Amino acid sequence: MRLSEQRIPQVRPRWKRLEPAVWLLVAPLLLFLLLTLGFPLLANLFYSLTDLSFRNLRSPDLTGFGNFASALRDPVFWGGLGFSLRFALAATFFEVLLGLLMALAFQPILERHRPLLALLLLPMMVAPALLGTMYRLILNDFIGVVPDLAQRLGLFVNFLTPPLVVPTLVAIEVLQWTPFALLILYTALQAIPGELHEAAKVDGANSWQQLRFVTLPLLVPALAITALIRFIDSFRVFDHIMVLTGGGPGTSTTSISIYIYLQFFRNDELGTAIAASLFLLLLALVPLFISMRVALREWGRA
Amino acid sequence: MRKTFAPLEALRWTFFVLVVVVFNFPLLFTAATSLKTTPQITAKVWLFAPTLEHYLKIFTDRSLDFPRYLLNSISISLGGTLIAVAVTLPAAYAIVRFGLGRGNLLPLITNLRAVPLIIFAIPFYLMFQTVGLLDTRTGLAIIAAVINVPLALILLVGFIQDFPPEIEEAARVDGAGTLGVFRHIIVPLAIPVLVAVSILSFIYSWNEYLFGLILTTKNAIPVTVGSALFITSWGVRWGEIAAAMTVSALPPLVLGMFGYRYLARALVAGAVKG
């Protein structure tokens, strides 16, 4: 008797014992997600197998896997993936590095004057599209200060054409999102108990050794999560590139998001665009899987 | 002691001020440009007597459409926030108290950020075209809600976990059912939390650009798309562009001052503790 009582919860999934009212609480969210994410995904799968274009939006014909083949054969698709990858790696590297340096350097200031932290976070509150447009003013030849300063130094350069355009776009991403890295790393720094530093000091560690053997090892999880979030966000970059270069000149700044956008809305290559976006979804499952593992561990512990 | 550290402190502060100025330079430059007269803008002067003429212009000149963009962004952000909160609050309660979806739904939703939004742009365009939601505020409010659901759910789950269960148990003893407890205990308790969630959700909705670009053509254009349009359609009217951008950037900046504390908590979602 006792044995079977213990066994029942293990055999029967927990949710089967829940009262209907609990399902009612979750129903709006489930319904909303099915409609807004599930349905579009299915539609994507279907349309990827058709000859969809703006001329036959209502009645596309099934054509098989041709769209996937033409996406894979398009060098611009691969170029877009490559651009996004390099862009995200470069931006993430500098954001985490600068964020870490700033968190370490400014910790004493911020602990005494906490409201000052907000000043450092302002850039990430601004819409990337707006910030991009603001940089467009700054970099403008007629009214911008940056070309003006460069010219006074004898440099006649255009920041929005190769070879400078990609570094410029990375720099803008870094200037907007380093505050994000700073915020997480500073929060993590504060969570390190002061006794650890005291103990290290008693053991004769100098400040460099404290940083190297106490602070940095404890920051590793925060550094990893910052890098992961920033990489994912930068990989899908769209807004500020769109307002600054529109993916050009040529295809030199065409990220994968911009590639899909242009295929769809400029080139009327709807099928290719959808096929490319499904490949992108497959790729996105990798970080999704990693961060789900991380999140599961976190929520499970809570 | 103090004396030996003074140079280091001075260096620290100098570096701090430098970083603040460099990172916020686009905001400062745009705000300054918006307050200059047009000749002052092209002459690139650093000192000037501020003028509000460009601000007057963007709000009164009917050909510029800026007030409409602003109104669109306000209603889209409010609507998106409202929907996101309405669907996530009951779900968050069910997840925390009854464990429904804790192992699958919760991690799946909170990690939706890994999926590039562009993947959903095309089906949304087709879907909205079929049901007549293209170029409407309602349509963009729904999108804003989709974008905000993960963040809202993370925050609400985190906060509800901290609610003491004793109050609910007392209500149950008095005969309240699950839905009754939710309505009369959880919803009132959650109001301060909802303020925080709404602030962040409003910022995210306001800053959205991709779907605004794809799904609007005229009537529902939000400020993020509208301000970028000005550059081509207004030619060299830099003052108006700068004024429009300053106004557009202001609401999230002001809200961000209150919201950044919660932002740290939401973004990190426990990762820092480990």
What's the CATH number where B196 sits?
Answer: 1.10.3720.10
What residue numbers bound the domain in which B7 lies? 2-53
At B271, the pLDDT band (50, 70, 90 cuts) reads very low
Q: What are the chain B neighbours of A296 within 8 Å (beta carbons)?
A: 103, 107
Distance from CA of B121 to the nearest CA of A (A): 8
In this structure, the answer to whether residues B33 and B129 fall within a common structural domain is: no
* DSSP codes of every residue in chain B: -HHHHHHHHHHHHHHHHHHHHHHTHHHHHHHHHHTS-HHHHHHT-SS-----HHHHHHHH-TTS-HHHHHHHHHHHHHHHHHHHHHHHHHHHHHHHHH-TTTTTHHHHHHTGGGS-THHHHHHHHHHHHHHT-TT-HHHHHHHHHHHHHHHHHHHHHHHHHTS-HHHHHHHHHTT--HHHHIIIIIHHHHHHHHHHHHHHHHHHHHH--HHHHHH-SSTT--HHHHHHHHHHHTTT-HHHHHHHHHHHHHHHHHHHHHHHHHHHHHHHTTTTT-
Q: How far apart are CA B31 and CA B149, in angstroms?
A: 33
Q: Please give, one letter per residue, the 3-state secondary structure of chain A.
A: CHHHHHHHHHHCCHHHHCCHHHHHHHHHHHHHHHHHHHHHHHHHHHHCCECCCCCCCCCCCECCCHHHHHHHHCHHHHHHHHHHHHHHHHHHHHHHHHHHHHHHHHHHHHHHCCCHHHHHHHHHHCCHHHHHHHHHHHCCCCCCHHHHHHHHCCCCCCCCCCCCHHHHHHHHHHHHHHHHHHHHHHHHHHHCCHHHHHHHHHCCCCHHHHHHHHHHHHHHHHHHHHHHHHHHHHHCCCHHHHHHCCCCCCCCCCCHHHHHHHHHHCCCCHHHHHHHHHHHHHHHHHHHHHHHHHHHHHHHHC
B59-107: pLDDT as tens digits: 988 778 899 999 999 999 999 999 999 999 999 999 988 888 777 888 7
Of all residues in chain B, the percent with pLDDT exceeding 90 is 41
Q: Which residue has the higher pLDDT, B130 or B72?
A: B72
**pLDDT at position A7, please?**
35
* Interface contact flag, B12 A32, Cβ < 8 Å: no
Angle at the Cα of B254 from the Cα atoms of B198 and B260, rounded to 5 degrees: 60
B104 Cβ contact partners less than 8 Å away, ≥ 6 residues apart: none
For residues B67 and B48, state if they share a domain: no
Residue A4's pLDDT is 37
| Rounded-to-integer distance, Cα B98 and Cα A58, Å | 44
- Contact between B221 and B229 under an 8 Å Cβ cutoff? The reply is yes
Query: Are the beta carbons of A28 and B91 separated by less than 8 Å?
Result: yes
Q: For chain A, which residues make up each domain, given as ranges?
A: 68-301
Sign of CA dihedral A121, A127, A130, A132: positive
Both B75 and B210 in a single domain? yes
Among residues B26, B53, B80, the one where a domain terminates is B53
Instruction: Report the interhelical angle of B2-23 vs A165-191 (nearest 10°).
Output: 140
Query: Would B75 be classed as within a structural domain?
Result: yes
| CB atoms A47 and B122 under 8 Å | yes
A123 compared with B258, residue with greater pLDDT: A123
CATH fold of A68-301 reads: MetI-like fold (1.10.3720)
Structural domains in chain B (count)? 2
B93 to chain A, minimum CA–CA distance in Å?
A: 8
Is A232 close to B114, i.e. CB distance below 8 A? Answer: yes
If asked whether residues B122 and B228 sit together in one domain, one would say yes
Domain for residue B274, yes or no? no
Encode burial over A58-70: b for 16+ CB neighbours within 10 A, e otherwise: eebeeeeeebbeb
Please, what is the Cα angle at A250 between A244 and A252, to 5 degrees?
A: 70
Q: Indicate if B212 and B82 belong to the same structural domain.
A: yes
Q: Which residues contact B142 (CB under 8 A, 6 or more apart)?
A: A36, B80, B83, B133
Within 13 Å, how many C-alpha atoms sit on residue B244's CB side? 31
Mean pLDDT of B240-244: 91
Closest by CA to B211, choosing from B92, B95, B128, is B128
Nearest-by-CA chain A residue for B122: A274
Q: Does B133 map to a domain?
A: yes
Is the pLDDT score of B7 beyond 90?
no
> Which residues lie closer than 8 Å to B203 by C-beta, 6 or more apart?
A125, B252, B255, B256, B259
Contact state of B207 with A130 under an 8 Å Cβ cutoff: yes
B188 with B124, same domain?
yes
User: Chain B closest CA to A105's CA: distance in Å?
Assistant: 7
Exposed / middle / buried, residue B111 (Cβ in 10 Å: 0-12, 13-18, 19+):
buried
Whether B259 maps to a domain, the answer reads: yes
Q: Taking all residues of chain B, what is their mean pLDDT, rounded to a whole number?
A: 85
Query: Do B215 and B245 reside in the same domain of the chain?
Result: yes
Residue B45 is assigned to a structural domain of this protein: yes
pLDDT of residue A300: 52
CA distance B79 to B88: 14
- CB environment A119-136: b (16+ within 10 A), e (fewer): bbbbbbbbbbbbbbbbbb
Q: Chain B closest CA to A170's CA: distance in Å?
A: 14
Structure tokens at B85: 């909160």
Same domain, residue pair B193 and B92: yes
Q: Which residues pair with A187 in a beta bridge?
A: none
Q: Which residue is associated with the tokens 């925390």? A: B96
User: What residues contact residue A127 under an 8 Å CB cut-off, 6+ apart?
Assistant: A239, B206, B207, B208, B209, B223, B224, B248, B249, B252
How far apart CA A277 and CA A114 sit, in angstroms, is: 43
The span from the CA of A66 to the CA of A51, in Å, is 9
pLDDT tens-place string over residues B163-203: 888 888 888 888 888 888 888 888 888 888 898 889 989 99
**Cα distance between residue B35 and residue A148, in whole Å:** 20
| Residue A37 to residue B225, Cβ atoms within 8 A | no
Q: Which range, A236-240, B41-45, B104-108, B229-233, is most confident?
A: A236-240
Contacts of B111 in chain A (CB under 8 A): 288, 291-292, 295
Q: What is the mean pLDDT of each run of 10 residues along chain A (302 residues)?
A: 37 60 90 90 87 77 83 92 96 97 94 90 93 90 82 84 92 96 91 84 83 88 88 92 90 94 88 90 79 63 45
How many whole angstroms separate alpha carbon B18 and alpha carbon B62? 41
Closest CA to A281 of B118, B146, B210: B118
Contact A123 B27 (CB under 8 A): yes
> Are residues B119 and B242 located together in one domain of the fold?
yes
B209 & B146 share domain:
yes
Q: What is the ipTM of this complex?
A: 0.89
Residue of chain A whose Cα is closest to the Cα of B116:
A236
The percentage of chain B sitting over the pLDDT mark of 70, rounded to a whole number, equals: 92
- Given B12, B37, B53, which residue is the final one in a domain? B53
- Residue B272 pLDDT: 35
Residue of B nearest to A22 (CA): B94
User: Which residue in the set B15, B145, B210 is minimally distant from A105, CB to CB?
Assistant: B15
For residue A280, is it left (φ>0), alpha (ψ between -120 and 50) or beta?
Answer: alpha
Q: Would you place residue B235 in the very low, low, confident or very high pLDDT band (cuts 50, 70, 90)?
A: low
Q: Are residues B33 and B163 in the same domain?
A: no
Same domain, B261 and B186: yes
A161: alpha, beta or left, given left = phi > 0 and alpha = psi -120 to 50?
A: beta
